[in-house]
Amino acid sequence: MTKKLPKKDRSAVKVADYIVERLAAEGIDHCFGVAGDYVFPICDAVDSSAKVKWIGCANELNASYAADGYARIRGAAMLATTYGVGELSAINGVMGAKAERSLVFHVVGMPSYQNQRLHKIAHHTLGDGVYGNFVELSAGAACCHAVINPENCVVEMERVIAEAHRNNQPAYIAVPSDYAQSPVVPADVKPIVPGSNQAALQKAMSIIAERIKKAKSIVAFVAFPISRLGLQKEAKKAIEALGCPFVTTLMEKCVIGEGHPQFAGMYVGAVSEPKTRQIIEGADLVLDLGGVNLNDITTAAYSGRLDLSRFVTVGLDDVRIGDKVIANVRLEDILSELAKLKPSSAPYKGKPQKLAPVNGKASDKITMAALYPRYAAFLRAGDTVVLETGSSSLGVTPTILPDGVRVEAQVLWGSIGWATPAAFGVALADPSRRTILITGEGSHQLTANDIGAMGRFGANVIVFVLNNNGYLIERALEENPDWTYNDLAPWNYAELPKALGCEDWYTARVTTLGELDEAMKAARAGKTGAYIEIIGGKMDMPPALAFAHGQLKAMYGDTP
Ligand SMILES: Cc1ncc(C[n+]2csc(CCOP(=O)(O)OP(=O)(O)O)c2C)c(N)n1
Ligand SMILES: [Mg+2]
């Protein structure tokens, strides 16, 4: 990505225009948000920019999720919200982007500097004349922040942009509304491009090469930051040069095609295929490319036995080998060094992964045993699946999918409702691919209103909503499946697109496999968005969830 400061005579550029143009130079051409008076100068700058289009969302939480989805594809996204009420509604989504390393620039319009200076009592405040109440909260959801004024604008923008890239996490940029309309004071600053310290890079590589030489068995984890940084091809080259098997966790579904001969399966602790488990748990050297996240979900309730002393972890900006950390080494540089290595033996060749056969008769009710192989058969190269937390994610992730399918999920943060707006952001970020949303109906109820934004902005997502009469995953994660708090208002889901203005969308409500097959065919053939409500059984769950149901004590700890 080429990075250039906006070319115009900077003395004449207003702060708000400068911020928008500078973010456009990061490859951003959409701004997600909700307007409000304090953020008007930013909204105006976007609306009058030739490069960035305003994408109004139904609320700020949705906008933050959409920005996260967009950033996962484009490398960065812009989110604009108003002071207090707007930014606080976005915090969950921005914090999720921080947890999952997605780079969202959160630009917030503050009350004017003049009113702040006079401690005026204003709307969207606590009525105390204090203007620092929310900066710390929003900044906590980011890896860096700046409160902009005309003098610091140029320098601060470069600082937060560089720091956000260094961590690939959100940056919070707050701008008082009067400053936003003032001319920027020019400063002679160049964009800072994160790069490795060459001596540190050589040192790290010589230790890694030595470990590789000594190891009897090597395996690579391709961790989620690889896709957030868009380094899939570089990681593939490194693995091909190493010749070793590679594995993923639930967080990296399809990061490199599952049909790749060196793919040794998905590691899910004790629930992994025995061969996958043996490869990773028995390896002398685990090359962790990107920094894998071994949480309760990815390790199936901390099952399995990983010896972390055998790990070499290549983070975004450092390499960790045991208790030694080599700082200022970029992941992309290590990958390109690894790609120069020659394998000492023939590359690993795993068992080819086949798609599960499609089963069931046309008149059968839709079971989970029949649904997941159908998703696999439906998906094809060029599709991006956005997968919601819930029983669907535990059904789709263990299912082998065709090469060329990309999957985005929020496994670690796991905030339900994320996937619907995230799919909107993903679809706008790359219209050359088909975006497929797979969600449960309970999660969908949180953010379904942005189906309207999909229609408005021509994001032709294919939406699958599994309607299983409540929060199935929660029913399964409890001894008693019938608590009323896992029940839902019974919406007529398939009628939502029409009510939300998506007049030309294909919609269907399907209860049998035959109807599902028909609907899938029609959705694929259509050029518009599509919305398919799938009626599933109240307690019909995929095997991974049934397994978790038997592991409740290991997951949550025993009663003290
Ligand atoms: C914001 C948020 N609130 C609550 C939860 C807890 N939670 C996790 S999954 C889930 C229910 C998901 O239900 P649904 O989308 O219908 O999927 P199903 O498991 O029924 O297929 C809930 C409430 C959460 N993860 N995030
Ligand atoms: Mg449900």
**Does the beta carbon of 440 sit less than 6 angstroms from any atom of ligand 1?**
yes
* CA 169/CA 180 separation, integer angstroms: 24
Strand 324-327, strand 318-321: pairing: antiparallel
* pTM, to two decimals: 0.96
* CA 167/CA 180 separation, integer angstroms: 27
CA of 392 relative to ligand 2 center, distance in Å: 9
Angle CA 506–511–516, to nearest 5: 50
**Does the beta carbon of 471 sit less than 6 angstroms from any atom of ligand 1?**
yes
**Does the beta carbon of 265 sit less than 6 angstroms from any atom of ligand 1?**
no
Q: Is 20 exposed, middle or buried (0-12, 13-18, 19+ CB in 10 A)?
A: buried
CA of 297 relative to ligand 2 center, distance in Å: 19
90: nearest Cα among 58, 126, 51: 58
Runs of H (alpha helix) within 106-192: 113-117, 135-140, 153-167, 177-180
CA of 405 relative to ligand 2 center, distance in Å: 25
Ligand nearest to the CA of 477: 1
CA of 372 relative to ligand 2 center, distance in Å: 15
Ligand 1 pocket test: pick from 437, 471, 488, 539 the residue with the most ligand atoms within 8 Å of its Cβ. 471
- Considering only CA atoms, which residue is closest to atom 9 of ligand 1? 390
Ligand 1 pocket test: pick from 62, 92, 388, 389 the residue with the most ligand atoms within 8 Å of its Cβ. 389
> pLDDT per position in the chain (560 positions), as tens?
445 555 545 458 999 999 999 999 999 999 999 999 999 999 999 999 999 999 999 999 999 999 999 999 999 999 999 999 999 999 999 999 999 999 999 999 999 999 999 999 999 999 999 999 999 999 999 999 999 999 999 999 999 999 999 999 999 999 999 999 999 999 999 998 889 999 999 999 999 999 999 999 999 999 999 999 999 999 999 999 999 999 999 999 999 999 999 999 999 999 899 999 999 999 999 999 999 999 999 998 888 899 999 999 999 999 999 889 999 999 999 999 999 998 777 899 998 888 999 999 999 999 999 999 999 999 999 999 999 999 999 999 999 999 999 999 999 999 999 999 999 999 999 999 999 999 999 999 999 999 999 999 999 999 999 999 999 999 999 989 999 999 999 999 999 999 999 999 999 999 999 999 999 999 999 999 999 999 999 999 998 898 888 778 777 777 77
**Does the beta carbon of 371 sit less than 6 angstroms from any atom of ligand 1?**
no
Helix (H, G, I), strand (E, B) or coil at 123: coil
Ligand 1 pocket test: pick from 420, 446, 473 the residue with the most ligand atoms within 8 Å of its Cβ. 473
**Does the beta carbon of 474 sit less than 6 angstroms from any atom of ligand 1?**
yes
Runs of H (alpha helix) within 406-447: 419-429, 441-447
Cα 145–chain centre separation: 21
Q: Which atom of ligand 1 is nearest to the CA of 467?
A: 16
**Does the beta carbon of 337 sit less than 6 angstroms from any atom of ligand 1?**
no
Q: Is 476 exposed, middle or buried (0-12, 13-18, 19+ CB in 10 A)?
A: buried
**pLDDT at res. 1:** 45
DSSP output for 50-73: SS-EEEE-SSHHHHHHHHHHHHHH
* CA 405/CA 355 separation, integer angstroms: 13
Q: How far is CA 177 from CA 11, 16, 50, in A?
A: 18, 9, 22
* CA 516/CA 494 separation, integer angstroms: 13
**pLDDT at res. 468:** 98
**pLDDT at res. 38:** 98
Ligand 1 pocket test: pick from 474, 478, 483 the residue with the most ligand atoms within 8 Å of its Cβ. 474
CA of 244 relative to ligand 2 center, distance in Å: 40
Ligand 1 pocket test: pick from 91, 443, 533 the residue with the most ligand atoms within 8 Å of its Cβ. 443
One-letter amino acid for residue 489 of the chain: A
**Does the beta carbon of 442 sit less than 6 angstroms from any atom of ligand 1?**
yes
**Does the beta carbon of 389 sit less than 6 angstroms from any atom of ligand 1?**
yes
CA of 426 relative to ligand 1 center, distance in Å: 21
**Does the beta carbon of 416 sit less than 6 angstroms from any atom of ligand 1?**
yes
Helix (H, G, I), strand (E, B) or coil at 484: helix
Q: Which atom of ligand 1 is nearest to the CA of 440?
A: 15
CA of 470 relative to ligand 1 center, distance in Å: 9
